[in-house]
Amino acid sequence: MEAANVDDLRVLYQSTDFIVLDKHWDIRIDSKQWYETCTVQKQLKRKFPELADPSTYYGFRFCHQLDFSTSGALCVALNRNAAGRAYRCFKERLATKAYLALVRGHLSRIRMTIDYGIGKNSTEGMTHMMCAEGTPGCTNVKPCKTELFVLQYGTYDGQPVTKVLLQPLTDMEAANVDDLRVLYQSTDFIVLDKHWDIRIDSKQWYETCTVQKQLKRKFPELADPSTYYGFRFCHQLDFSTSGALCVALNRNAAGRAYRCFKERLATKAYLALVRGHLSRIRMTIDYGIGKNSTEGMTHMMCAEGTPGCTNVKPCKTELFVLQYGTYDGQPVTKVLLQPLTGRTHQLRVHCSVIGHPIVGDFTYSLKTDCSPYRMMLHAYFLRIPVEDEPIEVIACDPFVTSVDEKWVPQQTVQEVDSVFLKLKEQGLQRELSLQRVQDAACGKHKDTGHEVIPETEEQSLLYTQWLANWSLD
C-alpha cells in the first residue's frame, strides 16, 4: 500500500490523441503548491515530456476529474481538438462511468437508485464539504441520482462491509476554477462556453470561482495587468446563464468587437426552456424595460407599466418555438430567442411578461420556480464580424434528454439549425449593407480630400466602459 511517487504512472490506453491512466489513490491531478511533489501532471511530464503542451498551464488537458482520494481510470487529451471531442461526449451524456467501492454495513437491497439533491455546506468550518438536501446550512442544491448494485458481502478489518458498483446518472456539478471550456482561440480573442451559476468577475473575496479566475488559472500569460480583472469581456452573460462568451485579449481587439456591437452587426441567439406551451410558434416581444425602484426589488428589471418601473428603454426580442414537451412532468416549450436590443435581463423579463417565464428563473418567477438545478437559458450562437477575423461559434445545446432526463420533448415544431441559419443570413445582409455605406463614405472622403480621423484613447475608454455594461439575458 505504498504512496504514489512521480515515476509510478500506470497507462491503460494510449493513442495519438488520448492517454487513459490508472490514477493512484491520494494524489492530486494538479497543484500550484510547492510542497505537492507528486501529482498526475508531474507524473505525465516525467514520463511523456514530449507530449506536454506549452500552451496549457499544466501541460495536459484532463477530460474529467477524479478526487484526491479516488483511484482509477482518468482520461487525458493530448491536443485541443481531442479535448473538444471528449468534452462533447461528457456534455451530451454519452460517456459511461462506473465505480467500485466498499461501504460500511450490509445493504438489505441488492440494487437501488439513490435520489437526493446535493448542495454546498455553508456551516462554519464545513464550507469545503458538500451535503444532502435537508441538511442544515445546505445551499444551492442540485438534483443528483446514483445507481447502486450490490456485488459482495464481507468484512473489512473484522467489520461488516458491502462491495458495490456505483454509476452516477447525473453530473450537475458546480463550476470549478479548472473547468474552462474553450470554443475558439486566436491571438486576439478567446470564446468560452461559460458554465451556469458562475460570475464573470467579482471583487468579493468569497467568490472563489469566476470566469476571470478561470482565465487567469488557464492562461496566466494572457492576462493584461493594465486592466482590473486581467481580461476584457466583449459582452456580458448573467450569473445563471451558460454559453458563448467572447473575451478580447488586447485593447485593439476590444475596440474592434465594440464597433460590431455598436453597429448592431453582432448576432446572438439563445436557447431556453420556458414554462407552459406557447400558442404561437413565432412572435416579436416588444416591451420597454426599466429598473425596478420598488423597495426590496431594486436588483430587478421590469417591463413598462410595472409600478415603480423607471428609466424605461425600448426593447425587442424575437422568439421561435422549437419543441413542446415537459420538464419534471410540467408543460414547457423549448424556444430560440434573438435579442434585437441590449438591456440587462432582457430575455428573462420578456419571457416573464408574456406569461412564460424561463424554467428555473427564481427572480422573475417571483421566487416560485426554485426546483430545477439551474436556470434554463443558454447562449447558443454568437457571430461577431470583427474586421479581418469574423468570429462564429456554437455552444452545444444543453437542453437535451441525454443531459437532463427531466426534459422530455414531445413535439418538434422546427429544428434549431434551420432557425439560426435564417438569423445568420439576416446578420450577413446587415454586414453587407453597412459595408456598402462605408465604401461609399470612403469614396466621398477620397473625392473631397477629407481626412478620416482615427479614434482617440478617450473614445476607446468609452468603448470599454460600454462593453462592461452590455447585458442581454
Q: Identify the CATH number of the domain in which residue 208 sits.
A: 3.30.2350.10
Query: Domain check: are 277 and 374 in the same one?
Result: yes
How much is the mean pLDDT over the chain?
86
CA distance 235 to 264: 13
Residue in 184, 183, 214 with CA at minimum distance from that of residue 198? 214
pLDDT at 120: 82
291 confidence band (pLDDT: 50, 70, 90): very high
- Do the Cβ atoms of 189 and 248 come closer than 8 Å? yes
Query: Domain check: are 191 and 163 in the same one?
Result: no
Q: What is the pLDDT of residues 85-116, one digit of tens each?
A: 888 787 777 789 999 999 999 999 999 999 88
Which grid cell is 375?
A: 436556470
pLDDT at 234: 93
| Amino acid identity at 39 | T
Report how far Cα 269 is from the mean position of its chain's Cα atoms.
15
Query: Domain check: are 209 and 313 in the same one?
Result: yes
- Do the Cβ atoms of 154 and 163 come closer than 8 Å? yes
pTM: 0.63
Residue 455 lies in a domain: no
Of the candidates 43, 63, 91, which is a domain's last residue?
91
Residue 76 lies in a domain: yes
Report how far Cα 4 is from the mean position of its chain's Cα atoms.
34
- Domain hosting residue 362, numbered range: 182-441+462-469
Active site positions, annotated: 238
Residue 177 lies in a domain: no
Query: Domain check: are 124 and 257 in the same one?
Result: no
Query: Domain check: are 376 and 425 in the same one?
Result: yes
Q: What is the pLDDT of residues 390-416, one digit of tens each?
A: 999 999 999 998 888 889 999 999 998
pLDDT at 229: 78
The residue-averaged pLDDT of 188-193 equals 95
Query: Domain check: are 372 and 437 in the same one?
Result: yes
Phi, psi of 50 (to 5 degrees): -75, -15
How many Å from the N-terminal Cα to the C-terminal Cα in the chain? 53
Report how far Cα 182 is from the mean position of its chain's Cα atoms.
10
Residue in 271, 378, 358, 275 with CA at minimum distance from that of residue 322? 271
pLDDT at 138: 85
pLDDT at 387: 86
Query: Domain check: are 365 and 261 in the same one?
Result: yes
The residue-averaged pLDDT of 43-47 equals 93
Which grid cell is 303?
A: 417591463
Q: What is the pLDDT of residues 112-157, one digit of tens each?
A: 999 888 888 888 888 778 899 889 988 777 778 899 999 999 999 9
Query: Domain check: are 202 and 245 in the same one?
Result: yes
CA distance 1 to 6: 16
Of the candidates 40, 62, 91, which is a domain's last residue?
91
Residue 17 lies in a domain: yes
Order of strands across the sheet with 301-303?
301-303, 289-292, 309-313
